[in-house]
Structure 1
Amino acid sequence: MKKILLSALLIVSARFGLGQVVTSEPLEIDPGKPLKIIVNLALLDQNLDFVQNLIQDANDGKDLYIWTWKPKEHPSGHPYVNGTGSQPWKNSNEALKMTKESNLVYSFTFTPSLKDWYEVDAATCYKEDIHFLVKPKDGGGYGEPDRKSPDLILKVDPPATVLPPAFFFPSKPQKDDVVAIIYDNAREDKPSMKNLDPDSVYMAVSVIDSGGIVYNLSTAFNAGNNQNMKLNYRGNGMFRKLIIPNEFIEQNKPTGMPPDVVIRSMKIVIVKRRFLTGLDRSNYEIEIKFDCD
């Protein structure tokens, strides 16, 4: 695992098995090469009526289609327009038919490449990501109940570099997402932080509001006294902590932090449970910037 190009998605999916509604082949997306998007309908929110309708159609053997609008939505007459005719939502384009991989799992392969499909450059793909939903040919609407998935996003990140030993996933979370904080102590290059005991890895956490004010949820000196700041040992030098930022901030909110404060980012430093000097912390920090409120 040393000195290799790692994808956060690859590590989390392969080593921790977090369920994903949307994934892709390959995991690291190159906008200039073909891409296979894979959607697991079973992981959608089935409390939504339109999702129940979609799953019913899938179980009834109806074909499903992708409907996509970012990084670019094609106009009427384009070969890859989402739908055709006077009521396009009720008549998906046959060119956008998905492939059934298994029960409630469908895929769509962009052929030719993303760049040719959306007719935008790689930089636009990185900026906009891929926004889409899944529907049957007739998605309802026009006075009838919708039959579709919620809006889905497949993140398209610039080429990965060698990740530091500590990082987070997904790369662009919202504050109500499940975020994995991951620390691979086996790749730690600071001698005083190598070969840490399974019970000795904690987080010093601060958050920054929209006005640039910093609030400490924990510090290097007191993190070891708070079990909420402990990373769980997963074996082979790997530690992990799953948080939902909104809930985590509320649970560890310091005195004096206003109830209506708008948090824009979170910074995390890996520290030893018993912190005495700078030797007992990582030389880098994780910064999580939230997409929106």
Structure 2
Amino acid sequence: MKKIFLALFAPVVLHFQASSQVVTSEPLEIDPSKPVKLIVNLALLDQNLDFVQNLIQDANDGKDLYIWTWKPREHPQGHPFVNGTGSQPWKNSNEALKMTKESNLVYSFTFEPSLKDWYEVDAATVYKEDVHFLVKPKDGGGYGEPDRKSPDLVLKVDPPSTVIPPAFFFPSQPQKDDIVAVIYDNAREDKPSMQNLDPDSAYLAVSVVDTAGIVYNLSTAFNAGNNPNMKLSYRGKGMFRKLLIPDEFINENRPANLPPDAVIQTMRIVIVKKRFLTGLDRSNYEIEIKFDCP
């Protein structure tokens, strides 16, 4: 089934504390594939809120506090890490979600064996959703009684900072029947001879590699400019884009020497000018798209 990844997600307005010191973590740079300790300083919450006053009173009275979390995934009833149990779960937090008191009004919770494994999602989902939670005593009130909790809080989980080249593709791990966007930001091009391209001047020189390591050219730097299938569309402000479905794209541009039973595992793309004469008329980098086989 073809999957469309080019959706824009509307921003969600969240109610959480502005102070970055309310929620921290160890380590500060989070790797979802490793254990993470989430740390909350209740003293920095807005104590003008009645439900926060109730929470701090419970903490000062020595009551245990619990994490209640719903993103990147909320565990269902019956799961060992479900937020609460019984017919009124808000009044009966799960003992497995009890937090550790680090010091006065400072509490922590450690996600083990890793953040993604605890939530049972992949790292991409953690990066996309972050960790959304609140802190409460075992009985959080409600059901006609005053709430006893923190506001909704967020632990941001950012992917490692990387500098991507001017040409790249999306999504990062496509299947051969996915819609893939090849994007070329000519405004960030650092090769002088490739800068300021005309709107109809950017093309793709494409080769594919099968599981035996044999390379087949769908187009070359010298002939790509003669093939409209290889042209990137100009999107304005130096931005070019080509949408393709790898399976269909390969078949539409299939070279005569590519066997019908060949299993393609890699597609390699170089940005070239429509009129290619020398190495000055191509990008210095190569886009490599790897597929799961078969």
The alignment's TM-score, normalised by the length of structure 2, stands at: 0.54
CA 214–75 in structure 1, closer or farther in 2 if over 3 Å, else same: farther
Q: Secondary structure at the match of 2:249?
A: helix
Aligned length: 192
Q: Which residue of 2 aligns with 1:213?
A: 214
User: Is 1:19 matched up with 2:7?
Assistant: yes
Aligned mates of 1:33, 1:161 — CA distance in 2 = 24
Deviations 1:107-147 (A, max 9, x none): xxxxx9xx95564157999x944689xxxxxxxxxxxxxxx
Q: Secondary structure at the match of 2:235?
A: strand
Letter in 1 for 2:227: N
Question: Does the Cα contact within 8 Å between 2:116 and 2:122 map onto a contact in 1?
Answer: no
Q: Which residue of 1 aligns with 2:80?
A: 78
Unaligned runs of 5+ in 1: 1-12, 35-64, 86-90, 96-111, 133-155
Which structure: larger Rg? 2
Q: Secondary structure at the match of 2:243?
A: strand
Matches of residues 192-203 of structure 1 in structure 2 within 5 Å? 192-203=193-204
Question: Does the Cα contact within 8 Å between 1:174 and 1:292 map onto a contact in 2?
Answer: no
Question: Does the Cα contact within 8 Å between 2:207 and 2:216 map onto a contact in 1?
Answer: yes
Q: Secondary structure at the match of 2:168?
A: strand
Matches of residues 23-172 of structure 1 in structure 2 within 5 Å? 31=32, 78-80=80-82, 116=110, 119-120=113-114, 128-129=122-123, 158-172=159-173
Q: Which residue of 1 aligns with 2:230?
A: 229
Q: Which residue of 1 aligns with 2:132?
A: none
Q: CA RMSD in A?
A: 4.2
Letter in 1 for 2:243: L
Letter in 2 for 1:167: F
The alignment's TM-score, normalised by the length of structure 1, stands at: 0.54
Q: Secondary structure at the match of 1:206?
A: strand
Task: Point out 4+ residue stretches in structure 1 off by more than 3 angstroms.
Answer: 22-26, 29-34, 65-69, 73-77, 115-119, 121-125, 127-132
CA 182–77 in structure 1, closer or farther in 2 if over 3 Å, else same: closer
Deviations 1:183-221 (A, max 9, x none): 000000000000000000000000000110101000000
Q: CA deviation at 1:291?
A: 3.2
Unaligned runs of 5+ in 2: 14-29, 39-69, 91-98, 100-108, 127-156
Question: Does the Cα contact within 8 Å between 1:267 and 1:288 map onto a contact in 2?
Answer: yes
Aligned mates of 1:282, 1:181 — CA distance in 2 = 14
Q: Which residue of 2 aligns with 1:256?
A: 257
Letter in 2 for 1:188: E
Q: CA deviation at 1:19?
A: 2.1
Q: Secondary structure at the match of 2:187?
A: helix
